[in-house]
Amino acid sequence: MSLEQLSERYAQHNRTERGRGFIFAGPERETLFRRYVGGPGQRVLDLGCRDGALTQAYVGGNEVVGVEADRDALAEAERLGIETHWADLDQPLDFPDASFDVAVAGELLEHLRDPERLVAEIRRVLRPGGTFVASVPNAYRLKGRLRFLAGRAPESDPTHLQMFSPADVRALLAAFQDPHVHFVAGRLVPLHARLFANDIVFVGRKPS
């Protein structure tokens, strides 16, 4: 699929399914991403930034570079005053080694053909000691399991190419230090986080 086709696919999806300013699991993700991105003075690579809705949580005082396949959404993100790049994130990142303090991938990895390759690229462009913060839907939550038992796909989003369990998330963090995994979004999370959380936020640090 060409970048133009990818852009149109996600522009259509974002218009009909998400809408401008939508943030999945918003309040909890905003709080965690703001905490882990930190700042001021951080150089932040924001992968899959969409229209910048989540970017607003950590743009203040930081130098943010947003990368997105949906060109229309990227134009919205540019209004935040960030540097923007239109790109297919299944391709290698067009940035030098060790050029960012933080790399963000919020609700992105499930949309990629090869998420492990992007994580390797993230590790390459992070400076020693740099932070990787990301999130993915908790595909193996109880709702997804019940859908599967009913003969339906666990995920209804046609743009999702991958499903991540907590074990898969920890595997993505294998090359990072000080991993943290948070189960968020869902009224019943206190009862059993893995079964009832709608989303998984995870963080690691590139070895110094």
Measured torsion, CA atoms of residues 111, 113, 117, 119, in degrees rounded to the nearest 10: 10
pLDDT for 19 equals: 66
Q: How far apart are CA 197 and CA 95, in angstroms?
A: 34
**Residue 130: what pLDDT?**
98
Q: Please give the average pLDDT of every successive group of 10 residues along the chain, which has 208 residues.
A: 87 74 78 97 97 95 97 94 97 97 97 96 98 94 75 76 92 97 91 90 97
Other CB atoms within a 10 A radius of the CB of residue 147 amount to 14
pLDDT at 21: 63
- Tell me the pTM: 0.92
Whole-number Cα distances in Å, 187 to 155, 183, 191, 195, 205: 20, 12, 9, 11, 30
Contacts of 18 (CB under 8 A, 6+ apart): 50
pLDDT of residue 9: 86
Please, how many CA atoms are within 13 Å of residue 159, restricted to the half-sphere of its CB?
Answer: 19
| Alpha-carbon distances of 6 from 13, 22, 73, 92, rounded to whole Å | 11, 20, 13, 16
